Amino acid sequence: MSERSKFTPLTTFEEFRDAVSAYRLPRILLAALDLDLCTVIGERRWTIPQLAKKLAVSERGLSILCRNLAMAGVLVKQGESYRNSRLGATALNAGHAAYRGDYLDLIKSHWKDWCRLDESVRTGRPLDHDEPEEPDYRRRFTWAMHHRTLETAPKIAAQMDLRGAATLLDLGGGPGTYALAFLAKNPGLRAAVGDRPAALEVARQIAATHKAGARLSYVPLDFTHESITGTYDIIWYSNVLHIYSPEMNRAIFGRALAALNPGGRLLIQDAFLHDREGLNPPDASLFAVSMLLFTEEGNTYSAADTTNWLKDAGFGRVKVLRLKRGTEDWEDGILEAVAPGKRPGTRARRTRSRGSSTAR
């Protein structure tokens, strides 16, 4: 348990000052995005006067910004000139196929939203509570989710043993990035993405560019008040648990159970808290703040509490599947809940790296 991450509490004013001052590097990185710096730099090497002219900014400002971006690894400084690092030239450069623009736009908007945290703390409400259902927002958010997970999903799919499973539902699957990764890894599998219609539009576009996309279908639904049509051997429920209250999650688990074949499995990936007080890991604790800012009732939860809700909903065995370090979306693993009844060949493999353990 000691290897699990934990925030080192601040004890002195100097530590507090340093923690607060951590905004500086994020602000520098976001200023680079706001100026489209890596896109303008592209494949070339630039002196500051050349680049300042091109961007229509001051040489003094750009020189200090670029020096810091070189310190951070986004740019490379060679004498008096700068070029993109590999990161700057790819994920941060709109001229490159690996550009993650939709996710970068989401991060930029989050900076502005986090600056209004006091408002949400006062009201207990999200900042713009109508926006998440708006189709244009949903499409942009769905692309952002694809850009967020396109490298993680195959790594996770590689570790999930789906032998014996013929059907999978990616519930709240958004862009279907995980469903496609599971399909690519398991040639005999068929999958569906269940989500809102605007998210499914994006999922269709992405699937059209993948060979495995031919085995993907689409289920438009709102699972907070509709039952799930069809039955599946596996339901993959990734990054949705935190959007809802414990009560709503119990209800959703009940609908998921009704849509699982006997012995089928619900696999939950989320930012699980791992200590009794709900303070750590830091990423999971901090993520609850995003849920305050952007959702009506979301939060982050422990695997132990989630296990209790799963049992209340009628699931049998529940355990945590641990992933290889460095491959996870969140560090505290994936919760596997098995529907009552026997279905041979659908058991989860104990992952070799760190094994599995019973949920706390």
Ligand X SMILES: C[S@@+](CC[C@H](N)C(=O)[O-])C[C@H]1O[C@@H](n2cnc3c(N)ncnc32)[C@H](O)[C@@H]1O
Q: Please give the single-letter amino acid code of residue 321.
A: L
Which 39-98 positions form the footprint of ligand X (CB under 6 A)?
none
Q: Which of 178, 179, 173, 170 is nearest to 149 (CA)?
A: 178
Contact of 162 with 347, CB cutoff 8 Å? no
Q: Which residue, 221 or 320, is less far from ligand X as judged by CB?
A: 221
Neighbours of 131 (CB within 10 A): 13
Encoded one letter per residue, x for contact with ligand X by CB under 6 A and - for no contact, window 1-30 reads ------------------------------
The answer to whether 159 touches 127, Cβ cutoff 8 Å, is no
Q: Where are the alpha helices (DSSP H) in the chain?
A: 13-20, 24-34, 37-41, 48-55, 59-72, 86-89, 101-114, 117-123, 135-149, 152-157, 177-185, 197-207, 246-258, 282-294, 303-313
Q: Which is nearer to ligand X, 174 or 264 (CB)?
A: 174
Give 149 or 300: the residue with its C-beta nearer to ligand X. 149
Q: For ligand X, give the closer residue by CB, 196 or 322.
A: 196
Which of 52, 144, 200, 243: binder of ligand X (CB under 6 A)? 243
Min dist. Cβ of residue 224 to ligand X (A): 4
The residue among 37 and 153 lying less far from ligand X, judged by its C-beta, is: 153
The strand pairing partners of 304, in sequence order, are none
CA distance 85 to 43: 10
Please tell me the count of residues contacting ligand X according to CB under 6 A.
17
Structure tokens at 90: 């790819």
> Which of 75, 240, 321, 348 touches ligand X by CB under 6 A?
240
DSSP 35: T
Q: Does 126 bind ligand X (CB under 6 A)?
A: no
The CA distance from 191 to 64, in Å, is 50
Q: Nearer Cβ to ligand X, position 37 or 145?
A: 145
Q: Scanning residues 187 to 226, which ones bind ligand X (CB under 6 A)?
A: 195-196, 199, 221-224
The reply to whether 259 sits near ligand X by the rule CB under 6 A is no
Q: Which of 88, 126, 173, 333 binds ligand X (CB under 6 A)?
A: 173
Signed CA dihedral, 301, 302, 307, 309: sign only = negative
245, 305 in Cβ contact below 8 A?
no
Task: Considering the complex, state which of residue 132 and residue 164 has its C-beta at the smaller distance from ligand X.
Answer: 132
Hey, which residues between 127 and 146 contact ligand X (CB under 6 A)?
Answer: 142, 145
CB of 280 to ligand X, least distance (A): 22
Binding residues for ligand X, rule: CB under 6 A, are: 142, 145, 149, 172-174, 195-196, 199, 221-224, 238-240, 243
